[in-house]
Amino acid sequence: MDAAAILRNYKIPIFLGGISVLTIIVSIVLLVKSTQTPTPIEFSSDRVEASSSAVLTVDVEGAVASPGVYTLPGGARVEDAIAAAGGLERDADDALFAKTMNRAAKLVDGGKIYIPSLSSSPQSPQSPLSPLVSVNSGSQSELDSLPGVGPVTAQKIIDNRPYQTLDDLVTKKAIGPSLYEKLKNNLSL
């Protein structure tokens, strides 16, 4: 039999088979489209931008012109909170403040900023051989060199960055309260 004869004899089954294949393809396309959500994908960075439009309330204490609680726009920085409190006083311990606080850090709602003064700053209890280690930028080996901190704890500190205050180490469960008390004089932001 030649192709023309096969087409003539089986034209209805070939036509119905073609319609069946086309129906299956359309059904699969409709099934795939119906399982897709029309909601766009939301990235975590999008949520951060959305939350930065909210207002923040922070407590600014210590050597500032007007200590108190201030409401600032979302995305505000430590420097903005200091400015809202009237700026630093003359007796502010600039050296200690520079070692322990990052003026460019973003504020968190409910956070506290304490500006030490020269009269209230304790004499440094650490030895000159133990410089401050930054919890926000210190390497794993620098953090590991602290007494009571091993590689696992150093990695937990790194994984929970950034920190607004040193107290966040305990709040974010990077270290326990007793280790924090032992280390707090060796740490900076």
* pLDDT score recorded for residue 43: 65
User: Which 3 state secondary structure label does DSSP give 16?
Assistant: helix
- pLDDT tens readout for residues 108-122: 888 888 888 887 655
* pLDDT score recorded for residue 53: 59
> Does the pLDDT of residue 94 top 60, yes or no?
yes
Confidence of residue 31 (pLDDT cuts 50, 70, 90): confident
- Contact (Cβ atoms closer than 8 angstroms) between residue 170 and residue 114: no
- Contact (Cβ atoms closer than 8 angstroms) between residue 61 and residue 115: yes
* pLDDT score recorded for residue 124: 43
Q: How far is CA 27 from the centre of its chain?
A: 44
Average confidence score pLDDT of the chain: 82
Among residues 82, 76, 74, 75, the alpha carbon closest in space to that of 98 is found at: 82
Rounded CA separation 38/68 (Å)? 47
**Could you tell me which CATH class the domain 123-189 is placed in?**
mainly alpha
- DSSP result, 123-150: PP-S-TTS--EETTT--HHHHHTSTT--
Place of tokens 């401050």: 132
The arithmetic mean of pLDDT across residues 114-140, rounded, is 68
Q: Which one of 37-41, 89-93, 106-110, 182-186 scores highest in mean pLDDT?
A: 89-93
Q: Identify the helix (H) or strand (E) that includes residue 47.
A: helix 44-51
Q: Which residues contact 60 (CB under 8 A, 6 or more apart)?
A: 67, 68, 69, 70, 81, 82, 84, 85, 112, 113, 115
Structure tokens at 66: 């007007």
* pLDDT score recorded for residue 96: 79
Q: Can you give the pTM of this predicted structure? A: 0.45
**Could you tell me which CATH class the domain 54-121 is placed in?**
alpha beta
Give the strand order in the sheet containing 55-62: 68-73, 55-62, 112-115
Structure tokens at 88: 């630093």
* pLDDT score recorded for residue 129: 42
Q: Where are the domains of the chain?
A: 3-35, 54-121, 123-189
- pLDDT tens readout for residues 48-90: 544 555 898 999 988 899 999 999 998 899 999 999 999 999 8
Among residues 124, 120, 117, the alpha carbon closest in space to that of 188 is found at: 124
